[in-house]
């Protein structure tokens, strides 16, 4: 834990400074978001129902910059691509300012992980900004996911704009008493051919004709740099966190390079293979899930997210390790992970979810992690 590696420049640089040199558009966005919200907290939303997930994301959203999900442990997940759970998470992400990280840990041959990423009932790629990979099968999985993301991105460069107009057609013949002239440029398509007798036209028996309403639907394709999610859930969905634009539509990958559980088999050789794969695909790999900073080359700009973070009760000393969960999970405090080990974002689950007031506890974690970051960068 926290090996004695040479100190890298990213450890002292601020998030705002690092954003300027980030190799991935999502990394640039996330670093700026962290600076704006003064937060380097990720919530591991390990709840058991989609309803709980959405409620928790809405309540804790103001304190976090990343929401980590496990969609396959949830009951009640709505798979509808436009109005389902994924789309609703996207609405909350825009409203509160956070990215969605589906902790899928892809770990199979390239062809299989591509299908898992882009297909199936969940279509993870449509709603999760970030996913991760367990590189045990080899770095081919990283290449496969990168190719899948690039192909998906090339297909969403255009938005469909739909225009619907409803109106009353204007007849070619008007009552002389109204003195009106027919206007062919009134915007109603096919009025002459489709209209029944207009409001001022009389039938042969002298009665006025009935009013007919015509609905016109037109569609066009417009190029966009940052397409929106596929739908707008409600009026509140138009909200975007003040001070920053919507995230870019690129997708990002984290490589699972180290774990916090006792007895895991991710040795130094495996970890360095992860670093090598990340450098080869730094246009897609944002960084690592790790226990420390793995940046060592002068050109490394990777982000690091670390699970296994827990605070002691408020008011107690915050140094060193915290008792594990008895199931192999080891815990460390924000001061150690951010300040000593150089991680950028702490991942917290049960410490927040199981608290009496998750909203307040999320703020406590955010404040502690941010303080540790400020001390590390001597702010």
Task: Write out the catalytic residue numbers.
Answer: 105
Q: Are 254 and 288 in contact (CB under 8 A)?
A: yes
Angstrom distance (rounded) from CA 123 to CA 115: 9
Half-sphere exposure of 18 (CA within 13 A, CB side): 29
DSSP 8-state symbol, 75:
B
The alpha carbon of residue 224 and the mean position of all alpha carbons in its chain are separated, in whole angstroms, by 18
Cβ neighbour number for residue 148 with a 10 Å cutoff: 22
Angstrom distance (rounded) from CA 316 to CA 323: 14
- Only one residue has tokens 């705002």, namely 16
Query: In Å, what is the CA distance from 345 to each residue of 147, 217, 291, 304?
Result: 27, 47, 11, 6
Residues in the chain: 379
Strands 41-44 and 99-106: unpaired
Q: Are 186 and 170 in contact (CB under 8 A)?
A: yes
Q: Are 23 and 284 in contact (CB under 8 A)?
A: no
In the chain, DSSP finds a helix count (H) and a strand count (E) of: 12, 12
Angstrom distance (rounded) from CA 216 to CA 189: 7
| Assigned token pair, 262 | 């006792």
Angstrom distance (rounded) from CA 100 to CA 98: 7
Question: Dihedrals φ, ψ of 338, to 5°?
Answer: -85, -45
Contacts of 240 (CB under 8 A, 6+ apart): 94, 95, 246
Tell me the H-state helices in 245-315: 268-280
Half-sphere exposure of 8 (CA within 13 A, CB side): 24
């Amino acid at each position: 834990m926290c090996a004695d590696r040479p100190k890298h420049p990213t450890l002292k640089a601020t998030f705002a400074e690092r954003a300027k040199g980030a190799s991935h558009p999502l990394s640039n966005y996330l670093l700026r978001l962290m600076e704006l919200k003064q937060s380097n907290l990720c919530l591991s939303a390990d709840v058991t129902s989609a309803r709980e997930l959405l409620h928790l994301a809405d309540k804790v959203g103001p304190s976090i910059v990343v929401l980590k999900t496990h969609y396959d442990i949830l009951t009640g997940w709505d798979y509808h691509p436009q109005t389902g759970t994924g789309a609703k998470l996207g609405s909350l992400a825009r409203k509160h300012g956070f990215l969605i990280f589906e902790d899928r840990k892809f770990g199979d041959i390239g062809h299989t992980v591509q299908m898992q990423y882009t297909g199936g009932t969940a279509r993870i790629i449509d709603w999760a900004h970030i996913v991760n990979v367990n590189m045990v099968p080899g770095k081919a999985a990283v290449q496969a996911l990168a190719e899948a993301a690039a192909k998906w991105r090339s297909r969403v460069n255009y938005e469909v704009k739909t225009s619907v107009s409803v109106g009353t057609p204007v007849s070619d013949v008007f009552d002389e008493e109204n003195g009106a002239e027919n206007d062919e440029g009134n915007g109603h398509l096919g009025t002459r051919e489709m209209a029944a007798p207009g409001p001022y036209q009389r039938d042969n028996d002298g009665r006025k004709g009935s009013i007919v309403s015509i609905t016109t639907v037109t569609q066009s394709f417009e190029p966009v740099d940052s397409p929106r999610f596929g739908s707008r859930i409600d009026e509140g969905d138009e909200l975007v966190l003040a001070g920053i634009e919507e995230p870019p539509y690129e997708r990002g990958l984290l490589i699972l390079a180290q774990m916090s559980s006792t007895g895991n088999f991710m040795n130094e050789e495996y970890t360095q293979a992860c670093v090598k794969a990340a450098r080869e695909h730094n246009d897609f790999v944002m960084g690592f899930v790790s226990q420390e900073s793995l940046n060592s080359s002068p050109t490394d700009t990777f982000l690091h997210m670390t699970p296994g973070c827990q605070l002691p009760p408020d008011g107690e000393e915050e140094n060193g390790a915290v008792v594990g969960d008895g199931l192999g999970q080891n815990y460390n405090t924000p001061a150690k992970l951010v300040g000593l080990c150089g991680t950028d974002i702490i991942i917290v689950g049960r410490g927040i979810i199981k608290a009496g007031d998750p909203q307040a506890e999320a703020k406590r974690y955010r404040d502690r992690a941010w303080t540790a970051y400020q001390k590390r960068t001597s702010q």
